[in-house]
Every structure is written in C-alpha cells, then in structure tokens.
Amino acid sequence: MFDLVVQGTAVLPEGVRDNVWIGVKNGKITAIGEGDAPDAKEQHKVTNGLILPGVVDGQTHACSYGGLPGIESTTRSAIAGGVTTLVDMPYDNPDPLNTKARLDDKVRVIEDVAHADMALYATVAPGQDVSEIGALIEGGVVAFKISTFESNPTRFPRIQTPQILEIFEALAPTDIPLGVHNEDQDMVHAYMAKAKAEGKNGLVAHSESRPASAEMSATAQFLELGAAAHAHAHIVHLTTARGFQLVDNYAFDGYRATGELCVHYLWFDPEIDGEELGAKMKVNPPIRPGEIDALWEEILAGRVGFISSDHSSWPIDNKFTPSIFDAGAGIPGLETLLPCFYTAAEQRGLEAASLTAEMLCERPARFFGIWPQKGGIQLGADADFAILKNEPQIWDSAKAHDDLKWSPFDSRTFSVTVDRTYLRGQLAWDGEKVCNAAGDGGYVRRGDSNWFED
C-alpha cells in the first residue's frame, strides 16, 4: 500500500496529462498511473488545479541578513510558494560559505530548521587559495559563486581576475559551474557617482547608474576567463537579450557557458513601475526599461538556462532611505516565484504549465546536478509537488510566511494560487499554513546529472 496517492491533472516530463495518480512510498514516487487510484494511507484528489513538480529555486539568499537562522523563515516561505528545493547562495552573514567547516555548520542548521530541501553554493574568499574546493565538492555543494562587484567586503566581496582564473582552473575538470554576480565595479561606481552628483533619484536613475554596459563588460570578461580554463562559466543574472546571445556565442564556440534569468526581469520595467515602487524594486543588476519582450524571445529561443527568484531576506527598513543609492538591494521572491512566472507565461499565450515545469523545475534541477531526484514527476524521484488551483489571487505580502511582510508584487494579480505543497511525500503547505516542521527539510547533495552531456 502507498503512503500517499495524489490524483488529478499532472505535469509529467512528457507533458500535461489528465486523470493521473501518483503513488508515493517512503517519500519517493514509486508508481504513476491513470484511472482509478490504488489504495493509500493518504489520498488527495486535485479537481480544479494542476500537479506540478516542486519548484527548484536556483538562486536564494537565505542568510544574507539574519545569518544561518534565516534558513527557517526563508524555507517556510518557500514551502508556502510551492518551492520544495532552494539553492542557497554562499553570502551568509557574517561570513560566507567558503570552507568545509562552514559547510558543515550550514548543513547542520538546515537539518535542524529547514522546512524545504536545500542545495548549496560555496564561494572562495579574496586571497583564499583553492585548497578547500575539493572538500566542498566532496561535501556535496552544487556550484560555486563569486562576484566582480563588492557589495560587502566580507560577505559579498569582489574577486579579481587572477583569482577568477585560478578558481576556474580548479573547477575545470568537474561539471560544477562557477557563477558570477556580473557587474563591473569601476563602471558602477563611476555611473553612480555621476547620478548622485546630478542629484538623481528613483528607480530609473538606479537602472542608469548600473548600465547594461557595466553588466556586459563583466560578463564578457568572465566568460572569456572560463573559456581560457575550459571550465563551466555561469552568469547568475542577465538582464538583457544581448547577454544571452553572448553566452550563446561561447556555447557555439564549444565552451561551457550558461546564463540565468530572474523572474522580476520579466515582470517589472523601471519606467512603468518605478514611480510606484522606488527602492522596493531595487535589485542588482537593475531591471531595465523596455527589455521584457526581448527576454521572452530569449526564453523561447532556448538561450535562457533557467529562471530563479534571487530571493533576499532583507527587512523593508533598509529600503527607506532618502536616496535610492543608499537603499539595500534585493527583494523577497520565493513565495511569488511560481504564481508570478505562471501568470506571465499565460498572459503571453504560452503553455504555462509545461513551460513552468521546464524553466522552474526540470532545468534548474538538471543544471545543479540534482535531476532526476528533483525537478520532475517521475519514477524514483522525490515526491515533491506544488499543487496549483485555478483561482486568481491579489498578492498581499502581509500574509506571506517569511517574517518580512513586504513585496514589490503587492496588489499584483496572479492567475493561480499555490494550494498545497508536498515535500518528499509529506504535506508541507495546506493552502492555509505551513504544516511541516522545522527540520523536515534537508540537505541535497549534487548528484550525477550533467547539463552539457545529458
């Protein structure tokens, strides 16, 4: 007898299929059938909705502000948003994840307090040699990340070119990507100084103060260093179509290169939303005017690796500054990721269900080497489900589950609502509350799947 059977219309790897049942035993999907559901200890039938694989958010900053304890609320919010696995960035407060010891600490906290499963990025500190990389890989990290821009001297420092090459060379024999926060520091400082000097303010000014050229300059330099080392170079957020085309040139030349998009670049435009949102929509690199259509074309052309939230657990307080240049960057986004992307795809007349499963579940899982364990409703996979109901909602961050209680998406209408989330066969979100326990989430290690060979 199954522990759980979920029944209804499901998004399987081969497509959307009605009248499916999914049998779960010991947290794994052990059978998929259609027609009458077999016996199970627990049954759930989806009538007016859709069974998706649990979302894999490829870019979360759970611990940027509150440190490792931030994992609890961040994963709670994830679960409420249908995100069953999140890939956490290494820029933890006060110290980034750059050693095996810190990895062990973080894994310990995950096992203790996480509501969702977590995979982890590691980093290398300025001046640190590459000797920890092997132990971190053995410890299961799925990727490494560095930045070409210093957001914080300790937590989020700038890595200079010689060290970037050194890290690439250390990772080259592996499948593990080196991701980059891609902004040219000198250019951003210069443009920001100019904007400040001119007394500019607001979201359009912020966008101009970190121009696409600054992003592209850092991107090109990083890609070429990756190519020089024959390593996998990954750009964690590209905000322009040109960015994805440049990445594609490297792929065409036979190098391993990928680019990622965050959902807000598909939703907000500074010239349209800037006045209303101000610093509430400040992210780095910034949202760009008039770029949304071109970015969708990149998705349809297959040049976007996957789509993520870039969720940051910042309290709203750091946004209330007279000048936008003094406000913190980053937004909460885990709980809105799934309904937001689904809604945007649907509004464009695309097949929202299968595109969501592809860009938010399957592709990030493949990218981080955790497929087929995560990312698809298939035999042997973890029984992670995000169940949507066909019920529009107006987003209200007051009801969010991340302790932050603010969002740039407030008052936006989504066409669907996350009705239930299952993590490894266990009901974790019932549409009203997060109902699994802190510590029911766990640590996910990199597995065998390979983005470039599969």
Per CB under 8 A, residues contacting its own copies are: 12-14, 17, 20-21, 23, 25, 30-35, 38, 160-163, 165, 184, 186-187, 189-191, 211-214, 216-221, 223-225, 227-229, 242, 245-246, 249, 253, 372, 376, 378-380
Residues sharing a CB contact under 8 Å with residue 159, sequence separation 6 or more, in sequence order: 124, 126, 146, 147, 148, 167
Whichever of 37 and 114 has its CB closer to its own copies, that residue is 37
CA distance 451 to 71: 28
Whichever of 111 and 224 has its CB closer to its own copies, that residue is 224
Q: DSSP assignment, residue 440?
A: S
> Which position has the token pair 């980059």?
180
Whichever of 179 and 441 has its CB closer to its own copies, that residue is 179
Q: What is the CA 142 to chain-centroid distance, rounded?
A: 13
Q: What is the CA 223 to chain-centroid distance, rounded?
A: 21
Whichever of 95 and 175 has its CB closer to its own copies, that residue is 175
CA distance 51 to 38: 18
Whichever of 13 and 69 has its CB closer to its own copies, that residue is 13
* Residues 243/288, Cβ–Cβ less than 8 Å: no
> Least distance (Å) from its own copies to the CB of residue 300?
14
> Least distance (Å) from its own copies to the CB of residue 227?
7
Residues sharing a CB contact under 8 Å with residue 290, sequence separation 6 or more, in sequence order: 269, 271
Identity (one letter) of the amino acid at 109? Answer: V
Whichever of 245 and 417 has its CB closer to its own copies, that residue is 245
88: left (phi over 0), alpha (psi -120 to 50) or beta: beta
Whichever of 22 and 68 has its CB closer to its own copies, that residue is 22
CA distance 164 to 225: 7
- Cα angle: 443, vertex 445, 451; to 5 degrees: 135
Q: What is the token pair recorded at 78? A: 């994830």
Whichever of 58 and 211 has its CB closer to its own copies, that residue is 211
Whichever of 50 and 263 has its CB closer to its own copies, that residue is 50
Q: Of the candidates 186, 281, 288, 168, which has an alpha carbon nearest to the alpha carbon of residue 230?
A: 168
First-residue to last-residue Cα distance in the chain: 34
> Least distance (Å) from its own copies to the CB of residue 301?
15
* Residues 213/288, Cβ–Cβ less than 8 Å: no
> Least distance (Å) from its own copies to the CB of residue 30?
5
Q: What three-state secondary structure class fits 411?
A: coil
> Least distance (Å) from its own copies to the CB of residue 285?
14
Say what the alpha-carbon torsion angle 25, 361, 74, 394 is, to the nearest 10 degrees: -110
Whichever of 37 and 261 has its CB closer to its own copies, that residue is 37
Whichever of 33 and 447 has its CB closer to its own copies, that residue is 33
* Residues 246/224, Cβ–Cβ less than 8 Å: no
Q: Of the candidates 308, 235, 258, which has an alpha carbon nearest to the alpha carbon of residue 85?
A: 308
> Least distance (Å) from its own copies to the CB of residue 164?
8
> Least distance (Å) from its own copies to the CB of residue 184?
5
Whichever of 38 and 134 has its CB closer to its own copies, that residue is 38
Identity (one letter) of the amino acid at 16? Answer: V
> Least distance (Å) from its own copies to the CB of residue 268?
22
Residues 358-369 as b/e (b if ≥16 CB within 10 A, e otherwise) read bbbbbbbbbbbb
> Least distance (Å) from its own copies to the CB of residue 220?
4
Q: What is the token pair recorded at 334? A: 């885990």
CA distance 31 to 14: 15
> Least distance (Å) from its own copies to the CB of residue 26?
9
> Least distance (Å) from its own copies to the CB of residue 294?
15
> Least distance (Å) from its own copies to the CB of residue 214?
8
* Residues 260/238, Cβ–Cβ less than 8 Å: yes
Element (H, E) at 226: helix 212-229
